[in-house]
């Protein structure tokens, strides 16, 4: 896999492409399929590093998972009470979704387990899941009183809680709901913003007794009946499509279609944001796939204007904000992104890293406590930039490289495969000039 990408600008992006399956949905299909009764078939599974961390953890818990092809899995569900004590520490690699959802699943099991991952994962905050799980009675220990992994879970019986989430996080919500499936009583979760709802949708489709009330409150309890297995084709990941949407909107002369992308309302903040800035994006051929709405997204090059973003829209595009910052460098006027302090606890501190790297390319960008202030339009110039080991940053810098004068070299670019295997090839097929080293 390429460790360095060299991006040459000056080519329009034209044609039709697809993006790999949605990362959040792929993780959930494997985890929930594992505790269903029967065989779950997953097509268009994201064969990236993060989702394979989940596959390996489920295998270590005694679940048989067959790989029919690179993107098709069959998960032989063991039922709600069928997971087995793992022989070794569970390695979540670099995947925050894996460690946070698995901690919720394992907290109420009748056996002990230990979850860990890369040094990046061991720096990310776990207190946000450990706190509610401890309220449920979970016996979890970890470094710094459970704020950091490795997390060690002792067997116990869980009690349901009513939990008001302090941050809008789908990983926290999913963790508590998963623990709730194994707890006595009715678990109630209230969220402060519309965090992605794939967990609720999927578990409800499997027959779990979960109810969504008024959008912000979710009830769940221990199922009386086994969960039904899934037969699912995972929609294309809108977070991956976002790089292409941004590149299409910015690169002169572009006209591209991204087929079968998930357009769940809790995920389309980036499409709305680009449209608010003046980007021409259309939804075509809307349909549904695996209980999730999908469409083909069509984007053409557009003149953009600076805009202010904040509030509830932020959680619906949290992973896309570094890319939005790249876009904002080309918009006329000032763009302000606020209420996005969560960016500081992603794979890396995405506020600091974005400011550092985009400045190398000439961007007029300032980091704030909870976001960015960007003035545009600013011509970017090619530079040597670093992904900081963060897949989304490597791809955001690629978008910047496509419109910068001269060539841009991205170090530590192999991480694109965490969530978007084939990223470089997809762009090349649309006309981009990208070298790999």
- Render 257-288 in DSSP notation, one character per residue: EEEEEE--TTTTHHHHHHHHTT-EEEEEEEEE
CB-based contact 336:308 (threshold 8 Å): yes
Applying CB under 6 A, among 107, 149, 318, 417 the residue interacting with ligand S3P is 318
CB of 391 to ligand S3P, least distance (A): 10
CB-based contact 175:133 (threshold 8 Å): yes
Taking the least distance from each CB to ligand S3P, the nearer of 171 and 251 is 171
Residue 7, exposed/middle/buried by CB under 10 A (0-12, 13-18, 19+)?
buried
Applying CB under 6 A, among 319, 357, 390, 418 the residue interacting with ligand S3P is 319
Number of residues that bind ligand S3P (CB under 6 A): 10
Task: State yes or no: residue 427 binds ligand S3P (CB under 6 A).
Answer: no
Q: List binders of ligand S3P among 405-424 (CB under 6 A).
A: none
Taking the least distance from each CB to ligand S3P, the nearer of 97 and 296 is 97
Q: List binders of ligand S3P among 241-300 (CB under 6 A).
A: none
Give the x/- contact pattern for ligand S3P in 6-25, rule: CB under 6 A.
------------------x-
Annotation says 319 is catalytic:
yes
- Render 56-121 in DSSP notation, one character per residue: HHHHHTT-EEEEEETTEEEEEEE-TT-----SS-EE-TT-HHHHHHHHHHHTTSSS-EEEE--TTG
CA dihedral sign, ordered 10, 13, 18, 22 = positive
Task: State yes or no: residue 97 binds ligand S3P (CB under 6 A).
Answer: yes
Q: List binders of ligand S3P among 331-350 (CB under 6 A).
A: 342
CB of 7 to ligand S3P, least distance (A): 24
For residue 377, is the peptide bond before it cis, meaning its omega torsion is within 30 degrees of 0?
A: yes
Give the x/- contact pattern for ligand S3P in 138-177, rule: CB under 6 A.
-------------------------------xxx--x---
In three state form, how does the secondary structure of 104-151 look?
Answer: HHHCCCCCCEEEECCCCHHHCCCHHHHHHHHHCCCEEEEHHHHCEEEE
Q: Which of 50, 319, 386, 390 is catalytic?
A: 319
CB of 336 to ligand S3P, least distance (A): 21
CB of 51 to ligand S3P, least distance (A): 10
What is the contact surface with ligand S3P in residues (CB under 6 A)?
24, 97, 169-171, 174, 196, 318-319, 342
Q: Which residues are catalytically annotated? A: 319
């Amino acid at each position: 896999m390429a460790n360095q990408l060299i991006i040459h600008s000056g080519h329009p992006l034209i044609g039709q492409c697809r993006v790999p399956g949605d990362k959040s949905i792929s993780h959930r299909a494997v985890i929930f399929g594992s505790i269903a009764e029967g065989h779950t078939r997953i097509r268009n599974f994201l064969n990236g590093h993060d989702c394979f961390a989940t596959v390996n953890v489920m295998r270590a818990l005694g679940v048989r998972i067959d790989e029919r092809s690179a993107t098709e899995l069959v998960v032989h569900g063991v039922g709600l009470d069928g997971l087995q004590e793992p022989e070794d520490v569970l390695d979540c690699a670099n995947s925050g979704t894996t460690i946070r959802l698995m901690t919720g699943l394992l907290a109420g099991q009748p056996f002990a387990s230990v979850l860990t991952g890369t040094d990046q994962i061991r720096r990310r905050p776990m207190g946000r899941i450990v706190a509610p799980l401890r309220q449920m009675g979970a016996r979890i220990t970890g470094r710094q009183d459970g704020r950091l992994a490795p997390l060690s879970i002792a067997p116990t019986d869980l009690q349901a809680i009513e939990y008001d989430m302090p941050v809008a996080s789908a990983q926290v919500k999913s963790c508590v709901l998963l623990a709730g499936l194994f707890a006595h009583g009715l678990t109630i979760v209230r969220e402060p913003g519309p965090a992605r709802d794939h967990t609720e949708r999927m578990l409800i489709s499997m027959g779990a007794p979960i109810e969504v009330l008024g959008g912000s409150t979710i009830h769940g309890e221990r199922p009386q009946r086994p969960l039904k297995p899934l037969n699912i084709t995972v929609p294309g990941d809108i977070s991956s499509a976002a790089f292409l949407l941004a590149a299409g909107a910015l690169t002169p002369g572009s006209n591209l279609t991204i087929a079968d992308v998930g357009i769940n309302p809790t995920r389309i903040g980036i499409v709305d944001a680009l449209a608010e800035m003046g980007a021409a994006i259309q939804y075509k051929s809307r349909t549904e796939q695996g209980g999730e709405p999908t469409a083909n997204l069509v984007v053409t090059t557009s003149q953009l204007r600076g805009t202010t973003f904040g509030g509830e829209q932020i959680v619906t595009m949290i992973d896309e904000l570094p890319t939005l910052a790249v876009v904002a460098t080309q918009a006329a006027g000032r763009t302000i992104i606020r209420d996005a302090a969560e960016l500081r606890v992603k794979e890396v501190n995405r506020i600091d890293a974005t400011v550092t790297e985009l400045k190398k390319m000439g961007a007029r960008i300032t980091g704030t406590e909870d976001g960015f202030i960007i003035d545009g339009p600013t011509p970017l110039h090619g530079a040597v930039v670093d992904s900081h080991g963060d897949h989304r940053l490597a791809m955001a810098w690629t978008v910047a490289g496509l419109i910068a004068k001269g060539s841009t070299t991205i170090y530590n670019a192999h991480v694109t495969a965490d969530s978007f295997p084939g990223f470089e090839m997809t762009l090349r097929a649309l006309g981009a000039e990208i070298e790999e080293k």
